[in-house]
Structure 1
Amino acid sequence: MPKPLVDVDTVEAAAFCLSDELSPFTSAWHAHRKHQLLYSAQGALHLEVEQAQWLLPPQRAAWLRSGTRHRVRVSQPVSLRTVYLEPRLVRLPPEGECRVFIIEPLAREMLLYSTRWGPERPPREPLADSFFGTLAQLLSEWASESRAWRLPRARTPELERAMAFTLKHLGEPISFEDAARAARLSGRTLSRRFEEEAQTTWRRFLHDARMLRAMELLAEEGARVTQTAYAVGFESLAAFTHAFHAFTGECPRDFRQRVARGSEPRAGAAPATRRTRAR
């Protein structure tokens, strides 16, 4: 990642948008004194906080409370749009350090339009102040509809190796034993690490990672459901459709068509209850 031309924490304006075109990189862990609204207009952004990690394709955005330590990873070109807001502007901030939510058409248009006012904007500009004030108020409403589409993070190098191996081979018929060898742990120890550090199992981690990757692939232009199913390790289209519907509340084809239209999920669409410790 190129060195920033400006230190965002020293910008005098209460709110502004930082627009950047990113090449593959991994940032250092860091935090900001302002609230952040992270959005990728093109390409998928990988976001990590202390306890969790998310994939942010253009259909999702993330709210980060001020002071939240985080890092981002980019594996493909990304058009990043980040809105920074002084905490005083958000009267009812969403709960928690990070909330990930579906981008509605209005939210998307406002985030893209906010690039009009970058970090060099005057500290006091009535139109910009009014715009960002409205955005800050809507943020609480948008983020209240957050979804649990996330993966846990590792706290030890061994579990991190197992997770990284799993994420790298989502489209292959990998086994728990493969992940244990990558972690350089016994199967029993790796199983315990997943339970204690991530509050889940390796099989559930693999399943959820495949679903998140499928959502990313289906959001790409020209995506095909059958190819996506094979790309995330399913040999049966029926099994993939069932798993995807249970995870997102939508069939893969409906999800792909909705994303292409830029519309919201159909009324009542919600993921099925997830079994945290399912094997």
Structure 2
Amino acid sequence: MPRPLVDVDSAPASAFCLTDALSPSTSPWHTHRRHQLLYAASGALHLEVAEAQWLLPPQRAAWLAAGTRHRVRTTQPATLCTVYLKPSRVPSAPSGDCRVFVLPPLAREMLLHSTRWGPERSPRDPVAESFFSTLAHLLSEWSAEPRDWRLPRARTPELERAMAYTLAHLSGPVTLAGAAKAAGLSQRTLARRFDDEAGTSWRRFLHDARMLRAMELLAEDGARVTQTAYAVGFESLAAFTHAFTAFTGERPRDFRQRVAEGTTPLPSPTRRKRRG
């Protein structure tokens, strides 16, 4: 029998963990009155906020401040693990609306352990209260060094079309001219719009998108580094390895192995009214 839907903002406990098995889908844009620590125990999550988007494979988490408008997208099955905290439980909250960071081993183990306390838990459970207080105090330390592994979001239809064209052609030849044609702009105008609106160049956007896509592919079961390199438009394995290492700080093979070893089964998911 499926579990009942949960309204995370109305749960009586001030802090709890919720898990969810996600199929490929995109959640609606939404907000919560609680802070969130968002984590993919398996698979990969695409997190979007107003002006940026991130990929969250295992070993990486996102801090979302209460009230931050966001949505979550998955292109493959994934297991979501989210800790919800009332703002009063986090006296020293990380700055900003959203921070993405690498999870240290202790953080990951605490997140997995927190799954024992779901939204239905007793608000007076002394062990749970102590556990979530400790986790809340450690948040600022864990998120002290955020990683800039993100892509900007478009603010105009023209740039949105250019970005969509680029993202759809990561595996093959893709040019600024093609992106400009998709946007209905000249190449010079598109280059200027990327700089002014997205704060980056089109070529940098393409490079970072390829790296993020590679990270997503390497997080899949049975992933192969060579196939991943070709899938994101590289003709040379050596060039891909160099680019990936410079972007992430580790070789593709090491990243794939670490993610594979980090995947841990979670308890049966709790269904909820709003995802992410």
TM normalised by structure 2 equals 0.88
1:52 paired residue number: 52
Q: Are the equivalent residues in 2 in contact too, given 1:105–1:262 (CA < 8 A)?
A: no
Distance 1:257 1:22 in 2: 23
2:272 paired residue number: none
2:102 paired residue number: 102
2:171 paired residue number: 171
Distance 2:222 2:242 in 1: 22
Cα distance per residue 1:20-67 (max 9 Å; x no partner): 111222222211111100111111111011121001111211000111
Q: Are the equivalent residues in 2 in contact too, given 1:170–1:233 (CA < 8 A)?
A: yes
1:268 paired residue number: none
2:125 paired residue number: 125
Shift of 1:106: 2.1
Cα distance per residue 1:57-99 (max 9 Å; x no partner): 1121100011111111122212111110111222221121111
Shift of 1:202: 0.9
Distance 2:57 2:231 in 1: 17
Amino acid in the other structure paired with 1:103? L
1:173-192 matches, within 5 Å, as 173-192=173-192
1:92 paired residue number: 92
Q: Are the equivalent residues in 1 in contact too, given 2:43–2:219 (CA < 8 A)?
A: no
Q: Are the equivalent residues in 1 in contact too, given 2:42–2:78 (CA < 8 A)?
A: yes
Distance 2:105 2:219 in 1: 15
2:144 paired residue number: 144
Q: Are the equivalent residues in 2 in contact too, given 1:101–1:145 (CA < 8 A)?
A: yes
Amino acid in the other structure paired with 1:212? L
Distance 2:149 2:18 in 1: 25
Shift of 1:185: 2.4
2:258 paired residue number: 258
2:15 paired residue number: 15
Q: Are the equivalent residues in 2 in contact too, given 1:30–1:69 (CA < 8 A)?
A: yes
Shift of 1:229: 0.9
Q: Are the equivalent residues in 2 in contact too, given 1:47–1:71 (CA < 8 A)?
A: yes
Report the secondary structure of 1:116's partner residue.
coil
Q: Percent identity?
A: 75
| Count of aligned pairs | 260
Distance 2:258 2:77 in 1: 23
1:71 paired residue number: 71
2:162 paired residue number: 162
Cα distance per residue 1:113-148 (max 9 Å; x no partner): 212111111222111111111111121111112111
2:269 paired residue number: none
Q: Which has the higher contact order (CA 8 A, sep 6+)?
A: 2
163-172 or 254-263, which deviates more = 254-263
Distance 1:26 1:255 in 2: 26
Assess, with a 3 A threshold, how the Cα gap between structure 1 residues 182 and 198 changes in structure 2: closer, same or farther: same
CA-atom RMSD in angstroms: 1.8
Amino acid in the other structure paired with 2:83? V
116-125 or 226-235, which deviates more = 116-125
Unaligned runs of 5+ in 1: 264-279
Report the secondary structure of 1:16's partner residue.
strand
Cα distance per residue 1:224-265 (max 9 Å; x no partner): 2211111110001121122112212222233333334449xx
Distance 1:103 1:151 in 2: 20
Q: Are the equivalent residues in 2 in contact too, given 1:48–1:71 (CA < 8 A)?
A: yes
Amino acid in the other structure paired with 1:199? G
Unaligned runs of 5+ in 2: 264-276
1:114 paired residue number: 114
Distance 2:161 2:113 in 1: 40
Assess, with a 3 A threshold, how the Cα gap between structure 1 residues 23 and 254 changes in structure 2: closer, same or farther: closer
Assess, with a 3 A threshold, how the Cα gap between structure 1 residues 260 and 75 changes in structure 2: closer, same or farther: closer
Report the secondary structure of 1:9's partner residue.
coil
Amino acid in the other structure paired with 2:37? L
